[in-house]
Amino acid sequence: MIEVVALKKKFKLTKDHKIKNEEHKDPRESDGYFHSVRDVSFRCERGEVLGLLGPNGAGKTTTLRMLSTALQPDAGSININGVDVVSDPLLARKKIGFLSGSTGLYGRLTAKENIEYFARLHGMDKREIKLRCDELFELLDMHSFLNKRAEHLSTGMKQKTNIARAVVHQPEVVVLDEPTTGLDIMTTQTVIEFIQGLKQQGTPVIFSTHHLDEVDLLCERVSVIDKGISCFDGSLNEFREVGQSDTLNQAFLNILQETQNV
């Protein structure tokens, strides 16, 4: 279970930024700061998949980066299975597996070495690593390219390696930042199957996306962020209800429209 309450994050604005944006100011800019995330809350139970939606620049990536502990929140709490992880990022990193569409691999290491390296950084010992890696290689059908350098792998192979890397330490929660953006259909399918696998194991998954068909396929819950504020959090059915449409795209647009009118 993961619960996020009232997250906040601001960034200092640079001089260039201030001058450039004097005319059309983003409502999130004030006193030299850009309040990227102003109030974001959601929760995801065991065995649930949460889809994080929102227009570009809404604060999704910032939110997920705070979840993954890359950024430190200014306020709010993140609670994983009853443990507050904001105050202890090292502990949080052991509990979270993170994967984004843009994360890379070390090109000069082989796929296997990449995964083993991260396993070692997670403090796993040799025997554990061997067991876990064999399991993952079998699961993701990676045996054919294990000893190839990552720079020579195809996009699909890379994404499989990335997935294995992200979950090698058996995280309690998996966070995915637009994991399917820019991937072909085959590779997208790999990611989707991987999320379904996690769901069956009961691992909560949070992922941000722009593809609502994926949300329909995978998610129990949906959370919408707009301009740094959570404007919807509920089940997929509630999403359709509030959005007053059976098609998810229309429902999403209606919800955004509504928040802007308020």
Partner 1 sequence: MFEVYLKELRELLRDRKTLIFVVALPVAIFPILFGLMGFLMSQATLDAEQKVHVYAVANESYAQSFADELFYHKSFKKSEKTYNTVEEMSEAVKAGEIDVGIVLPSDARETLDNEQQSEWKVVFNDSQSISFIFKRINDAALKFSKELQSERFTALGVTKEAQVALLNPIKVVKVDTADKRENIGEKLGALIPYLLIPLVLAGASYPAIDLGAGEKERGTLETLLLTPVTRTELVLGKFLTVLTTSLATAAITVVSMGLWISVVGNFIALEKISDALGTMGVFDLALILLLLIPLAAIFSSLVLAISIYARTFKEAQNYMGPLSMLAFMPLVVAMMPNMELTFKTAVIPVTNVALAIKEIIKGTVDYAMVGMIFAATVVVAGVLMGYCVYWFKKESVLFR
Binding site for partner 1 (CB under 8 A): 11-12, 65, 68-72, 90-91, 93-94, 96, 98, 100, 102-109, 113, 117-118, 120-123, 149, 165-166
- CA-CA distance, 259 to 149, in Å (whole number)? 48
The nearest distance, CB 30 to partner 1, in angstroms, is: 18
State how far the alpha carbon of 52 is from the alpha carbons of 59, 72, 210, 214, 229, in Å.
10, 20, 9, 11, 12
Output the smallest distance, CB 120 to partner 1, in A.
5
Which parts of the chain fold into alpha helices (H)?
Answer: 15-20, 60-67, 89-95, 111-121, 126-140, 155-167, 185-201, 212-218, 236-242, 248-261
Nearer to partner 1, 166 or 229 (CB): 166
Residue 14 or 260 with smaller CB distance to partner 1? 14
Q: Which is nearer to partner 1, 25 or 120 (CB)?
A: 120
CB of 248 to partner 1, least distance (A): 29
Of 5, 4, 6, 45, nearest in space to 220 by CA: 45
* Shortest reach from residue 241's CB to partner 1, in Å: 36
Between 6 and 117, name the residue whose CB sits nearer to partner 1: 117
Work out how close the CB of 99 gets to partner 1 at its nearest, in angstroms, rounded to a whole number.
Answer: 8
CB 115 within 8 A of CB 164: yes
The DSSP secondary structure of 32-46, one letter per residue, reads TEEEEEEEEEEEE-T
Closer residue to partner 1 (CB): 151 or 241: 151
